[in-house]
Structure 1
Amino acid sequence: MSDHSPTTRSYGVVRRMTARGRDEEHRTATPLELFFDLCFVVAVAQAGRQLVHALAEGNPSHGIPGYLMMFFAVWWAWMNFTWFSSAYDTDDVLFRVTTLIQIAGVLVLAAGIPRAFDSGDFRAVWFGYLVMRLAMVAQWLRAAHSAAGAERCAAMRYAQGVSLCQVGWLGLLLLPQHAKPWLFLVMALLELTVPVIAERPYQTGWHPHHIAERYGLFLIIVLGETVSAATVAVQSGVDQHGGLGTLLPIAAGGLLLIFAAYWIYFAVPIHLHLASNRQAFLWGYGHYPVFASVAVIGAGIEVAVEEATGKAHISALAAAAAVTVPAALFLFTVWLVHSRHQKRGLAQQSVLPVSAVLVLACTFGGRWAVLLAGLVATGTVATGVTLTTRAARAGAAASAQQAGTEA
């Protein structure tokens, strides 16, 4: 049994940061990790609000790239901590304090998101990111200090890579406005290469079940923020315009989409797929569009409400697309990086891609577009459950027949 197991683990101010095993039993998310996720979603909500304003004003060419950049910054900082803590969480005082410093950094970043959106002023965003990354570098250096050989080399590569990338982000403060999106693209690609290079000499001991749980919990918190944003939007529309009949289809359809998103994501035990870094990198990186799209569903519902109440300066088609496009993207990317690994046969594999196309088609449903998309998502869940049940019964029958034949 690992020396980090609940029965042998000691708590103190500082303990040696040894790697945790991938076969460790009862490895679950800690309260500190849940708190960390909750604070990071504050930044996601800030980016979502700015996206709503841009879309409602008919300016998607500004809002969508800005949202994707801000979401990447938040998601990548979350990723850095999540995979590190899965491998090296000591849960001692020093680890907790360093994690709380990272939380403070993301709150500074969240406060700077509106100014970065409106005027391209990235100073607060960059400083908040600096706080988070310095804390992350300190964690890796601490892991390197306790390790030797290839493991120490990997930890040092992480520390060096994160540091160099943070220097590169200075371009957001120094370059002209038109060059910043291109810098962001280059730096994002460089950031993604750091773990690939760092883990060549040694694969860190992240825990498959723990990682799967952490991703699932983050999705739940983002879904909760989506529900909150949609509820506030509907309440505001009712208070100001009293158009409950107009808003009810949007609210019902949005709620069905959110419920379906939850059901679809958690329908498969993905930790069984995460056997090595090869699967983990593709799965982990692929969650960027998964998380980003599910967060945008809430922003899209807000836009649809504003259009229905006459507050948005866009067409009903554009407002519907603000919901259906991210919903379709979620369905497809969840299938691509998550669900397809546990699906068997053409029928099961086709459900989510076909549903994504049908949800996109709902864009042309006028005032009923969001409700139609929600009904399609609900039908997707029902179809998936039916096919899975049939496959399970067929498998059980085949096993029974084989057992009888052998007997």
Structure 2
Amino acid sequence: MSAEKNQNMTLKLFAPRDPKEPHRAATPLELLFDLVFVIAIATAGQQLHHAMIEGHLWHALPTYFMVFFALWWAWMNFSWFASAYDNDDTLYRCLTFVQMVGSLVMAAGIPAVFQQHNFDMIIIGYVIMRLALVTQWLRVARHDPLRKVTAYRYAIGIVLVQLGWLISYFSAIHLSPLLFLVLVFFELAVPFYAEKYAATPWHPHHIVERYGLLTIIVLGESIIGCFAATQDAFSNKELNLEEIFLVVGGLLMMFAMWWNYFDRSHHHHQRRGVQPFLWGYGHFLIFISIAVLGAALAAAVDVSTQNAQISSQMMGLIIAATLVVYSSCVWLFYEAFYLQGWRRWIYPVTVLILFCTPFLFNQIGHIILAMAVVYILRLIVSKAFLLNCTDEPVGSTQ
């Protein structure tokens, strides 16, 4: 009788979370995971910053994309799993710690990727994180009978794709860009295939908060990176007017990006026409554009002090492009589905202005400040004329 009781308690211990649970918020363990994770993002951003000022951007950008995808994908899988099955028991905490170790291993290997194109540590750290997640899915298969097939699909799919990464990199096949994209496709397909059988009970408000928290963390990391570059560049000299414009413009730009994302926070879990997979996967472009913009603003400091092998106009175009990618995702996810008529096209007009700005000024500080002002004015117009419209969202993430 005692053994049966203990078994029932164990089954209940790892039961799925209630997707309608009120006041569901991110846990301290999830916040710690994010802080460890952002170390790897910061390391990759530093390497991209150096590549920009050395004139190697187009060579380094594909590498940065590959590294950032590995980091983001590991974070996203952890976050969605935790939203459905975080029971905070000892084994769950230990397996989460293993994933943190994998993230730190990946961070340690990032410099070698950019300098020597050596992915050994990245692959090893990635496999550590993914195998810890496989163990979690096997626990789900044991304790959640309704989603046993879903859990096995996740576990088997993750293992097969990890074998693909290992074979493609550590064998004579070699990891070409085309093969990388093929493996990325299979990585993205695993959740889609697994959830087709029985959807996991992820919590909409919890997922929205997790994505919002990572957005803030990446924005903060970008600000820190820009500030560190500014401090290093200007430690032995006084700021001139252009450099003041650069600092003020960069801060305004980051503030505007925060504003643009969170101004419709109440719509994040009530989106008309946007499916959860599209929303979840599409945030990759939001996160990576923020991170790239942070590296670009840090590189702009070197451009202003003439310590970079890149022109002010090219630097301005890079910043404009990353800002447009970020804002386009937010626009497509929200405004394009909420607004009607002429109001929907205010943002595309802003995009044209942003791309023209680098050609109107010669100095990078003036370019960044002008783009920030344009972006802020667009948000003010949106706040005044668009957000009070009668368009109401239809449907939900479920």
TM-score between both structures, scaled by the size of structure 2: 0.90
Which residue does the alignment assign to 2:140?
143
1:156 aligns with 2:155: no
- Higher mean alpha-carbon deviation, 288-297 vs 343-352, is at 343-352
Mapped contact 1:141–1:156 kept (Cα < 8 A): yes
1:291 aligns with 2:287: yes
Which residue does the alignment assign to 1:344?
339
> How far does the alpha carbon of each residue in 1:187-224 deviate from its partner, in whole angstroms, 9 at most, with x for none?
11110000010011101101111101100000000000
Which residue does the alignment assign to 1:30?
27
Alignment equivalent of 1:133, drawn from 130, 134, 152: 130
Amino acid of the structure 2 residue aligned with 1:233: A
Three-state SS of the structure 2 residue aligned to 1:210 is helix
Alignment equivalent of 2:200, drawn from 199, 204, 219: 204
- CA distance in 2 between partners of 1:240 and 1:63 (Å): 30
Which residue does the alignment assign to 2:355?
360
- CA distance in 2 between partners of 1:259 and 1:114 (Å): 29
User: Where do 1:4-403 residues align within 5 Å?
Assistant: 16-149=13-146, 151-170=147-166, 171-175=168-172, 179-268=175-264, 269-273=266-270, 279-341=275-337, 343-364=338-359, 365-367=361-363, 368-388=366-386, 390-391=388-389
Amino acid of the structure 2 residue aligned with 1:360: F
Report the Cα offset of residue 92 of structure 1: 1.4
- Higher mean alpha-carbon deviation, 213-222 vs 180-189, is at 180-189
Report the Cα offset of residue 21 of structure 1: 2.1
Unaligned runs of 5+ in 1: 1-11, 396-407
Amino acid of the structure 1 residue aligned with 2:51: A
Three-state SS of the structure 1 residue aligned to 2:137 is helix
How many residues align? The count is 379
> How far does the alpha carbon of each residue in 1:107-138 deviate from its partner, in whole angstroms, 9 at most, with x for none?
11011011011111111111111110111001
CA RMSD, aligned part only?
Answer: 2.1
- CA distance in 2 between partners of 1:50 and 1:14 (Å): 46
- CA distance in 1 between partners of 2:39 and 2:98 (Å): 16
Identity %: 40
- CA distance in 2 between partners of 1:218 and 1:100 (Å): 18
- CA distance in 2 between partners of 1:218 and 1:155 (Å): 26
- CA distance in 2 between partners of 1:311 and 1:49 (Å): 16
Mapped contact 2:208–2:269 kept (Cα < 8 A): no
- CA distance in 1 between partners of 2:121 and 2:386 (Å): 49
Mapped contact 2:226–2:298 kept (Cα < 8 A): yes
Amino acid of the structure 2 residue aligned with 1:37: D
> How far does the alpha carbon of each residue in 1:209-267 deviate from its partner, in whole angstroms, 9 at most, with x for none?
11011000000000000110111111112114534323111111111110010011011
Report the Cα offset of residue 174 of structure 1: 3.0
Mapped contact 1:115–1:121 kept (Cα < 8 A): yes
Report the Cα offset of residue 91 of structure 1: 1.2
> How far does the alpha carbon of each residue in 1:324-374 deviate from its partner, in whole angstroms, 9 at most, with x for none?
211111111111134434x32234422333323322222223311111111
- CA distance in 2 between partners of 1:258 and 1:105 (Å): 30
- CA distance in 1 between partners of 2:232 and 2:243 (Å): 11
Amino acid of the structure 1 residue aligned with 2:357: C
Unaligned runs of 5+ in 2: 1-8, 393-398
> How far does the alpha carbon of each residue in 1:268-308 deviate from its partner, in whole angstroms, 9 at most, with x for none?
123432699x7110100001111100111111101111111
> How far does the alpha carbon of each residue in 1:154-211 deviate from its partner, in whole angstroms, 9 at most, with x for none?
001001111111111112233576x432222111111000001001110110111110
Three-state SS of the structure 1 residue aligned to 2:297 is helix
Amino acid of the structure 2 residue aligned with 1:333: C
Amino acid of the structure 1 residue aligned with 2:128: V
Q: Which has the higher contact order (CA 8 A, sep 6+)?
A: 2
